[in-house]
Amino acid sequence: MNSQDKAGMLLSIRNLKVAFRMGTVNGVVQRAEAVGRGADSVSFDIPANSTVALVGESGSGKSVTAMSIVNLLPDNAERSGQILWNGRDMIGLSKAELRAMRGRDIACVFQDPMSSLNPVFTVGQQLAEPLITHMGLSRKAAFARAEALLNEVGIPEPARRMKAYPHELSGGQQQRVMIAMALTCEPKLLIADEPTTALDVTIQRQIIELLASLKQRLGLSVLFISHDLGLVGEIADQVVVMRHGTIREAGPTGDMFSAPKDPYTRALLACRPSLENNPARLMVIDDHIEGRQARTDVKAKDPDAPVVLEVKSLAKSFFIKQGLFGQREFKAVRDVNFKLRKGYTLGVVGESGSGKTTMGLTLLRLHEPTAGEVLFDGKNLLKLSPAERQAMRRRIQIVFQNPYASLNPRFTIGQALIEPMRIHNIGQDDTEREQRARELLVKVGLDDRAFGKYPHEFSGGQRQRVAIARCLTLNPEVLVLDESVSALDVSVQAQVLNLLKDLQDELGLSYIFISHDLAVVRFISDEVLVMKDGEVVEQAGVEEILHAPKQAYTKRLIGAVPRGWQPAASAAA
């Protein structure tokens, strides 16, 4: 019996293969296999009223598999096999038939809500549109239903938010709007493609709890795509593990977490940092598969290391126009104080909007401070002349969250690395600079051949390595790392975190590590600064913060971290 004939089976994928046409060579069409390799194809089921998680690293084929269901793929994609919706094969449907199903029967929520929401329409207009188009409601009825949906997904003051534009909402609120929009036509299946990746832990917790409650209340099925098995363990009924376009393992969540059969699944579960015990270096996927042992030797840090950076009463305000002539002060950062020693890492944590990124940018005078001092090498960075600031900026560098945006797509990697050296007169000539750039690429774990390539030819993790190498070209002493690993999958994240630790040990670098991921902060940090509403609410050593937090806010942040699947008895305890 086929699984689509089983009672309650909503969607069945059978022998799916997806390839992309890459042009013609000598009259032969070249294809790149994305899902299904050689004799292997992809098959799994989504029962009614259940959550199935599709997990794997970047490039594993999970998003391509999900988008194949509603054919939201590029024109050069070719699908084969069967995608059975209540027994009807969707691969044979016309564009008009698919359009009718999208939104009404199957809806999607994507990773970045700002790229999915139209910036020139209000939230209410965007929610009402599918209700008018697909459900045939009047404008008045559509807006009333839209407001009710905002209330249903937990957005406060829904009537006021209906008139807001996407940029006026926080990231968590934008994602709730996307979920509300997906629910407008009461679909039976919701495809959620990395919907919480860029959100802080408390908002992430709210979103997965919202999805769980909607599933329970509306009888919804969810296809949840993620690289985070900790998160998946809390929301999924079934897990499908993918690598290189094929399924490595599939089964109930409890079986997958308590007794994973495939080495790749075991590796995925083990390479994420923990809130409890961590090795000196994180194990990456290949380490686990090849049976290598974790390193436990931790390099002791000098308790009397010199202070390289001291921040006193740092403040930053933004002034917002109000009325015709008035303005309102918004205090983004207030009275921040800390010391950073050579070779140490200060973790800065807090929810979105807590002021942690603004604080980091103000340190570097990428935002002009309102008050305070930043003492580096005996000089206040906030009082330097432009010429002095240029010389000092070489010694304090920043690595941003998004390597796609921080690398010029028109520059080769070599050009991107040589340019800052040329600006700061490092090296005798371009030959010497090129040699240094190539050495740094090897140091950050990239092949020397990367020198002549462009950013689009690399994965996200490789691009982040290039961004780190570019900072190192200037021999900095302090790196500000602003959510620099938050968008990377667990294995690549482990590689970058190991790289940062190795560079710190070798070069004596000091880090200000800004993140919303407390497990990552625990692995890399020596001291932690907890921020809320622009203020430091708690500051202590990393072990003290995690095991004996004093503030309710810190306890709430720690409590929101996904712990993965737990047996019913221990979960109840």
Q: pLDDT of 118-131, one tens digit each?
A: 999 999 999 999 88
For residue range 536-546, list pLDDT tens digits in order: 999 999 999 98
At residue 495, the pLDDT reads 83
The average pLDDT across 118-147 equals: 91
At residue 335, the pLDDT reads 93
Tell me the pairing of strands 326-341 and 307-322: antiparallel
Residue ranges of domains in the chain: 343-368+379-559
At residue 39, the pLDDT reads 80
> Sign of the C-alpha dihedral, residues 231, 233, 238, 243?
positive
At residue 337, the pLDDT reads 95
- Comparing 572 with 90, which gets the higher pLDDT? 90
Q: Which amino acid type is present at position 152? A: E
Instruction: Indicate if the pLDDT at residue 532 is higher than 80.
Output: yes
Instruction: Indicate if the pLDDT at residue 5 is higher than 60.
Output: no
Instruction: Indicate if the pLDDT at residue 570 is higher than 80.
Output: no
Instruction: Indicate if the pLDDT at residue 7 is higher than 80.
Output: no
Query: Would residue 427 be called left, alpha or beta, if left means φ above 0 and alpha means ψ between -120 and 50 degrees?
Result: left
At residue 566, the pLDDT reads 61
* CB 123, CB 166: distance < 8 Å: yes
At residue 12, the pLDDT reads 95
Q: What is the largest CA-CA distance in the chain?
A: 77
For residue range 285-337, list pLDDT tens digits in order: 888 787 777 776 677 788 889 999 999 999 999 887 777 778 888 898 999 99
303: CB partners within 8 A, 6+ apart:
none
In angstroms, what CA-CA distances link 547 with 164, 276, 282, 527, 554?
Answer: 41, 9, 21, 13, 11
For residue range 73-116, list pLDDT tens digits in order: 888 999 999 999 988 899 988 888 888 888 788 988 887 777 78
For the chain, percent of residues with pLDDT exceeding 90: 36
Kindly report the average pLDDT of the chain as a whole number.
86
199: CB partners within 8 A, 6+ apart:
171, 172, 175, 207, 352, 516
SS3 state at 14: strand
Position 284 confidence tier, pLDDT thresholds 50, 70, 90: confident
The average pLDDT across 475-481 equals: 92
SS3 state at 9: strand
For residue range 180-195, list pLDDT tens digits in order: 888 888 889 999 988 8
CATH superfamily of 343-368+379-559: P-loop containing nucleotide triphosphate hydrolases (3.40.50.300)
For the chain, percent of residues with pLDDT exceeding 70: 95
At residue 6, the pLDDT reads 47
At residue 141, the pLDDT reads 93
Position 196 confidence tier, pLDDT thresholds 50, 70, 90: confident
- Partners of 530 in the β-ladder: 349, 538
Position 205 confidence tier, pLDDT thresholds 50, 70, 90: confident
For residue range 350-391, list pLDDT tens digits in order: 887 788 989 999 988 889 899 999 999 888 988 888 888 888
- Partners of 358 in the β-ladder: none
Q: Which residue has 């290949």 as its token pair?
A: 286
At residue 516, the pLDDT reads 81
The average pLDDT across 203-214 equals: 83
10: CB partners within 8 A, 6+ apart:
46, 47, 48, 85, 86, 188, 189, 221
For residue range 492-524, list pLDDT tens digits in order: 788 888 888 988 988 899 999 998 888 889 999
* CB 553, CB 306: distance < 8 Å: no
Stated pTM of the model = 0.81
At residue 17, the pLDDT reads 94
Instruction: Indicate if the pLDDT at residue 52 is higher than 90.
Output: yes
For residue range 215-232, list pLDDT tens digits in order: 888 888 999 998 777 788
